[in-house]
Amino acid sequence: MAELTYRDAVARGIAQEMARDDDVIFFGEDVAKAGGVFKATVGLLDQFGPIRVRDTPISEQAILGAAMGAAMTGLKPIAEIMFSDFLAVCWDYVANEFPKSRYMTNGQVKCPLVVRTGNGAGSRFGAQHSQSVENWCMMIPGLKVVAPSSPADVVGLLAAAVRDPDPVIFFEHKSLYAVKGEVPDGEIVDTLGTAKILRPGKDATVLALALMVPRALAAAETLAAEHGIEVEVVDVRSLVPLDMQTILGSVGRTHRLFTVEENPRLCGWGAEIVSIAVEEAFYDMDGPPVRITTPHIPLPAADALEDMVLPTPARIVETIRRSLGS
Amino acid sequence: MAKKTAEATVLDRSNDDIGEAVRLELYRKQQVIRQAEQRAYDLFLQNLVKGTSHLSLGQEAIAAAFGTAMRPGDLSFCTYRGHAHTLARGVSVESVLGELMQRDNGLMRGKGGSMHLTSVEHGVMGSYAIIGAHLPIACGAALTAQYKGTGDVAVCFFGDGTTNIGAFHEALNFAAIWKLPVVFVCENNLYMEYTAIHEVTAVKHPAADRAAAYGLERIVVDGNDADAVYRTAQAAFAKARAGDGPSLIECLTYRHSGHSRADPAKYRPEGELERWKERDPIKVYRERLKSFGIAESVMTSIDQEVARMVDAATEACKAAPMPPEDILFTDVYADGGWAWRN
């Protein structure tokens, strides 16, 4: 067991898979010599050399297109899009090419690739370098969408993504890169499509993803300590496939459902989960599901302003406390 | 080379770099494309081809020449105007027409349609309907070939309109810096959809005049001359296989029909189509073969054999069932299904 940062876990996960399989290659902007702008890929160039770890020009379409062409022909590319906001400049590949190639060709074309991308707010970078865009990808049939919250999950889910035969969009949260956590020694391979109950509780289910997971856990501490409310915190981890069994199982025990989402309100991932829960577990619930999200606005740059709009532990506590009427 | 004698034109085959067998293949491929495309057009008029469709009538020499010059293992990346390039790799007319008619015997059983013809077993890695998307994808396939040392080449076909989209420029730079074994083939048919390409492009030759920006040779070839295209393809393939990187080839040609089934092509100046039809690639090539001493009857028998094959394919497609409901939910994901939740 070693304590690793989330950013070091990224490099460890990539290295684990590159050491295992020569078909895994890795490229993106500033990822090789510079070790990534978030320093999440330091050491990979030295370990695996310039044929397998490559710096690219600022050409997001070429990065994702080349990843797809390599994936179709037998390699297992990992491509980095530096900020997830930049998926918008290569959206054709994410929305039209990766996810539809297998279906349109009646199963002839495969697309086993991973796009890693820095997602989320907290760095005070403003509206075009801070978004949480996992919900953009969630709505496209054919993609898999993962967003880990801890260093151990980064390694295990990244390994699972690389080994997965489908295109996986892997959202790393920029504000988690410095967070430390225990990571078991040896090879770690997790399972896509599995949510994880991080804290059991009987009074409400709280779903969270990525940076919202530690905030939900902090809120749970306060709710228990100050209000006697025991919430069950579920790290959703994977939006596609979506582990509804774990989520509905939790709701069946707690009878209340809350989501904590960093994405702006409309069509956030919680909206889909809530709609499923309402259809399938309506009579299990003692009150309406409640979504705690960033409001439907572009993100401001100023720290004072950004802090006002992202869900905080205090807001989570207050929303749950009021909803439960205690 | 042909020499005139007192009696007749006789052929000096010793001087010919292409040879009769390859020439007949080039001719036959052009005929297959011509007749299959003409049939596709006729089937529109009978409302048996559904959706849209983009024909290569008049542009057959390019697909035929590249298809002939490619070897097994080389990979084709086509556009929505991709019937020709698919047929040129040996994919059956029946499976192509079946896909256009959206029947169960189609190449993708109707799940892709005319714009996405794909036959991985023939090295046709897809037809891409978003302009420019497949240039970077072809780079990726070339990266695999380079990484694994297969010696295979990725060949990427596109129209003149593609030269003005960002992915074209990103892909060319990518291919050049990594010296990828990819050959970019611009079919300049003078029109990007409904607009003359020269009206919307800063340079006269939309592909070739951009080559220098990526350190590549400027190559313009007569796209209606299968021999010229074939020789150019061979040179580019030799360069790619030698590890000397990509090529960008601009083939000058002309489409005889409109952009798509919806387009009567009324924007073309009077007489333009007729002038280009004088240089119809199949007409040009028949004359070429005759000049090399190949009897008219040889070509005629190829024409007839292809016609019988296209007729048989048409009948098979008309008789084929519609795709069944159970394939709606297959192959969304690699496990064969579409499940996104448990």
Tell me if A188 is assigned to some domain. Answer: no
Query: What pLDDT is stored for residue B50 in this prediction?
Result: 87
Both A132 and A200 in one domain: the answer is no
Q: Please tell me whether the peptide bond between A151 and the residue prior to it is cis, using omega within 30 degrees of 0.
A: no
Report the CATH number that the domain containing residue A54 is assigned in CATH: 3.40.50.970
Transcribe A174-232 into DSSP letters: GGGTT-EEEE-SS-----TT--EEEE--SSEEEEE-TTHHHHHHHHHHHHHHHH---EE
CB pair distance less than 8 Å for A109 and B126: yes
**Is the pLDDT confidence value at A194 over 80?**
yes
Residue with tokens 């979504």: A291
| Mean pLDDT of all residues in B137-166 | 98
CB pair distance less than 8 Å for B111 and A103: yes
**Is the pLDDT confidence value at A314 over 90?**
yes
| B328 near A CB under 8 A | no
Both A101 and A148 in one domain: the answer is yes
Do B102 and B47 form a contact (C-beta atoms < 8 A)? no
Looking at the DSSP bridge assignments, the partners of residue A257 are A205
CA A175 to mean position of chain CA atoms: 12
| B89 near A CB under 8 A | no
Decide which of A274 and B50 is more confident: A274
Tell me if A21 is assigned to some domain. Answer: yes
**Is the pLDDT confidence value at B169 over 70?**
yes
Transcribe B40-83 into DSSP letters: HHHHHHTT-S-S-----TT-HHHHHHHHHH--BTBEEEEESS-H
Both A28 and A112 in one domain: the answer is yes
pLDDT level of residue B313 (50, 70, 90 thresholds): very high
Percentage of chain B surpassing pLDDT 70? 96
CB pair distance less than 8 Å for B147 and A75: yes
Rounded to a whole number, what is the distance in Å from the CA of B329 to chain A's nearest CA? Answer: 9
Query: What pLDDT is stored for residue B10 in this prediction?
Result: 52
Report the CATH number that the domain containing residue A296 is assigned in CATH: 3.40.50.920
Both A34 and A169 in one domain: the answer is yes
pLDDT level of residue B258 (50, 70, 90 thresholds): confident
Rounded to a whole number, what is the distance in Å from the CA of A93 to chain B's nearest CA? Answer: 8
CB pair distance less than 8 Å for A69 and B139: yes
**Is the pLDDT confidence value at B5 over 80?**
no
Query: What pLDDT is stored for residue B31 in this prediction?
Result: 98
Percentage of chain A surpassing pLDDT 90? 99
Both A213 and A166 in one domain: the answer is no
User: Which residue in the set B112, B171, B340 is minimally distant from A62, CB to CB?
Assistant: B171
Rounded Cα gap, residues B190 and B170, in angstroms:
23
CA–CA distance from A73 to each of A192, B106, B283 (Å)? 24, 23, 38
Q: A145: Cβ–Cβ under 8 A, 6 or more apart, which residues?
A: A134, A137, A138, A168, A169, A171, A238, A239, A240
Rounded to a whole number, what is the distance in Å from the CA of B192 to chain A's nearest CA? Answer: 20
- Chosen domain end from A183, A212, A247: A183
Rounded Cα gap, residues B103 and B320, in angstroms:
6
Rounded Cα gap, residues B30 and B258, in angstroms:
19
pLDDT level of residue A93 (50, 70, 90 thresholds): very high
Q: B320: Cβ–Cβ under 8 A, 6 or more apart, which residues?
A: B98, B101, B103, B104, B105
Which site among A104, A207, A245 would you substitute to test the B interface, given the most B Cβ atoms closer than 10 Å to its Cβ? A104
**Is the pLDDT confidence value at B4 over 50?**
no
List domains and CATH numbers for chain B: 12-319 (3.40.50.970)
CB pair distance less than 8 Å for B144 and A73: yes
Please write the tens of the pLDDT for every residue from B199-223.
999 999 999 999 999 999 999 999 9
**Is the pLDDT confidence value at B183 over 90?**
yes
Tell me if A38 is assigned to some domain. Answer: yes
pLDDT level of residue B11 (50, 70, 90 thresholds): low
Please write the tens of the pLDDT for every residue from A141-190.
999 999 999 999 999 999 999 999 999 999 999 999 999 999 999 999 99
Residues in A closer than 8 angstroms to B120, CB to CB, are 105, 108-109
pLDDT level of residue A77 (50, 70, 90 thresholds): very high
Tell me if A189 is assigned to some domain. Answer: no
Rounded Cα gap, residues B317 and B103, in angstroms:
7
Residues in B closer than 8 angstroms to A240, CB to CB, are 340
CB pair distance less than 8 Å for A71 and B126: no
User: Which residue in the set B109, B120, B148 is minimally distant from A109, CB to CB?
Assistant: B120
Query: What pLDDT is stored for residue B1 in this prediction?
Result: 43
Which residue out of A17, A129, A172, A261 is catalytically annotated? A129
| Mean pLDDT of all residues in B245-255 | 98
Query: What pLDDT is stored for residue B51 in this prediction?
Result: 87
Tell me if A202 is assigned to some domain. Answer: yes
User: Which residue in the set A110, A165, A243 is minimally distant from B342, CB to CB?
Assistant: A243
- Chosen domain end from A136, A157, A183: A183
Please provide the average confidence, as pLDDT, over all residues in chain B: 94
Please write the tens of the pLDDT for every residue from A95-153.
999 999 999 999 999 999 999 999 999 999 999 999 999 999 999 999 999 999 999 99
Both A214 and A162 in one domain: the answer is no
Tell me if A191 is assigned to some domain. Answer: no
Domain count, chain A: 2
Both A32 and A156 in one domain: the answer is yes
Query: What pLDDT is stored for residue B6 in this prediction?
Result: 45
For Cα atoms B23, B28, B31, give the angle at the middle one, nearest 5 degrees: 130
A306 assigned to active site = no
pLDDT level of residue B262 (50, 70, 90 thresholds): confident
Tell me if A12 is assigned to some domain. Answer: yes
pLDDT level of residue B13 (50, 70, 90 thresholds): low
User: Which residue in the set A51, A65, A71 is minimally distant from B136, CB to CB?
Assistant: A65
Both A178 and A223 in one domain: the answer is no
Tell me if A190 is assigned to some domain. Answer: no
Residues in B closer than 8 angstroms to A166, CB to CB, are 333-334
Report how many Cβ contacts below 8 Å link chain A to chain B.
162
A262 assigned to active site = no
Query: What pLDDT is stored for residue A294 in this prediction?
Result: 98
Nearest chain B residue to A101 by CA: give it.
Answer: B126
CB atoms within 10 A of CB A187: 12
Nearest chain A residue to B74 by CA: give it.
Answer: A73
Both A139 and A214 in one domain: the answer is no
**Is the pLDDT confidence value at B2 over 70?**
no
Both A105 and A225 in one domain: the answer is no
B 98-137: CB under 8 A from A: 107-109, 111-113, 116, 118-120, 125-126, 128, 130, 132-137
Domain range spanning residue A67? 2-183
Both A32 and A86 in one domain: the answer is yes
User: Which residue in the set B77, B108, B170 is minimally distant from A106, CB to CB?
Assistant: B108
Please provide the average confidence, as pLDDT, over all residues in chain A: 98
Residues in B closer than 8 angstroms to A51, CB to CB, are 147
- Chosen domain end from A183, A212, A232: A183
Both A214 and A175 in one domain: the answer is no
Residues in A closer than 8 angstroms to B103, CB to CB, are none
CB pair distance less than 8 Å for A72 and B141: yes
